[in-house]
């Protein structure tokens, strides 16, 4: 029987410049998104005051 090609010989296309976030960190990010955004001074989707403050008209 002929030896079949092993999967090791297959080349894997590497994606460049992609920051990988560990799964546990990703979950924490989802949980703390609001707090992180507030700390960074970025708009929180539900925070209407921020938009009014910046003069951004947000459709609700």
- How many Å apart are CA 45 and CA 8, to the nearest integer? 46
**Tokens representing 54?**
């910046």
For the stretch 8-33, pLDDT in tens is 666 666 666 566 666 777 777 676 77
pTM metric for this prediction: 0.22
């Amino acid at each position: 029987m002929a030896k079949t090609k092993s999967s090791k010989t297959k080349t894997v296309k590497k994606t460049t410049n992609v920051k990988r976030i560990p799964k546990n960190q990703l979950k924490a990010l989802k949980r703390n998104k609001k707090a992180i955004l507030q700390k960074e001074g970025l708009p929180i989707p539900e925070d209407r005051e921020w938009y009014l403050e910046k003069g951004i008209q947000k459709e609700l």
